[in-house]
Amino acid sequence: MSPDTDPRPVIVFDGVCVLCNGWVRFLLRHDRRAHFRFAAMQTARGRALLLQHGMDPDDPVSFLLVEAGNAWSDTGLGGLWRLTTALRAVPRPLRDHMYRWLARNRYRWFGRRDSCLLPPPEQADRFLA
């Protein structure tokens, strides 16, 4: 199946952000059914998806989840993120504001790598270039 016809959701993430890479590694460990695919925002595919959904690929403030033609960002992400029900007690505008604050400070607090995450060979097919 080609990446263009693969129906699995795609998560666009910051490939040089230490925090973001940690989240992707967490998902790779726990997504045993390989439900999600990934695209670093530094790749052509990641940039195109961000632009397609109205996000600035040079200054994104959020992850982007694209699933069945729909897109979610911030704390409105679907699928796996719906499991974080404890956060639902906080009103969404406040959650989104807090999430964007974290995203704007992610390099300062968690660090930045010189290059994007290289997936393990057995999971390389889940990453879009």
* Statement: the pTM of the whole predicted model exceeds 0.85: no
SS3 26: helix
- To the nearest 10°, report the CA torsion of 82, 125, 53, 111: 80
Q: What are the sequence ranges of the domains in the chain?
A: 10-114
Confidence of residue 81 (pLDDT cuts 50, 70, 90): very low
| pLDDT per residue as tens digits for the range 2-23 | 456 788 999 999 888 888 888 8
| pLDDT per residue as tens digits for the range 34-69 | 999 999 999 999 999 999 999 888 877 777 899 988
Distance CA 107, CA 59 (A): 12
| Residue 118 to residues 29, 53, 55, 59, Cα–Cα distance (Å) | 15, 25, 24, 22
Q: Which amino acid appears at position 60 of this protein?
A: P
